[in-house]
């Protein structure tokens, strides 16, 4: 069904029928429930803290297990925040937190996988572009440059590429 067909169908429904369909969607699909729960009670600070804890737990588990190091966990959370329409400041902060935690972990343990460095570089590029697009550079410039500096301090194999990403500022 196209968007046009959907609009046409919805115009044919009365208010009660629309309400009934929305309630059915709310009950049947967890994504719809999550969306409406967020829209009517957007506890962004609480969501942000829970997300940061999940990301940190990937590298520094609370329970004595080995770290899982799944960078995809953070990417899923960030994508979810973007789909909900969470404030850009919160999303950028979460993106930076993800990279900072990964760097804190790599400072303690040398990473042997080039995929780790490539993934963190991609995340870095994403947060720089996102910050520029949303006018947040002045807010997060120091953290962004600190990440680049840590890549050099830790002698990451792709450290020069972090600097190349920052050429956007010139």
Residue range 31-54, pLDDT digits in tens: 888 888 888 888 889 999 999 999
pTM of the model: 0.84
The mean pLDDT of 109-115, rounded to a whole number, is 87
Among candidate residues 117, 123, 68, 67, the one with its CA nearest the CA of residue 92: 123
Candidates 142, 57, 135; CA nearest to 96 is: 142
Note the CATH architecture for domain 54-169: Alpha Horseshoe (1.25)
The domain segmentation of the chain, as residue ranges, is: 1-41, 54-169
């Amino acid at each position: 069904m196209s968007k046009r067909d959907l609009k046409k169908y919805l115009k044919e429904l009365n208010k009660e029928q629309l309400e009934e369909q929305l309630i059915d969607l709310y009950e049947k699909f967890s994504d719809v429930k999550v969306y409406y729960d967020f829209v009517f009670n957007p506890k962004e600070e609480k969501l942000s803290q829970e997300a940061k804890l999940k990301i940190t737990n990937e590298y520094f588990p609370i329970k004595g297990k080995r770290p899982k190091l799944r960078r995809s966990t953070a990417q899923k959370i960030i994508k979810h925040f973007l789909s909900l329409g969470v404030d850009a400041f919160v999303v950028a902060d979460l993106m930076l937190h993800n990279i900072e935690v990964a760097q804190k972990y790599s400072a303690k343990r040398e990473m042997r996988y080039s995929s780790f460095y490539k993934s963190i570089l991609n995340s870095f590029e994403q947060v720089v572009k996102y910050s520029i697009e949303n006018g947040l550079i002045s807010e997060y410039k120091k953290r962004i440059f600190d990440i680049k500096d840590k890549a050099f301090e830790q002698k990451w194999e792709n450290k020069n590429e972090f600097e190349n990403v920052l050429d956007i500022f010139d």
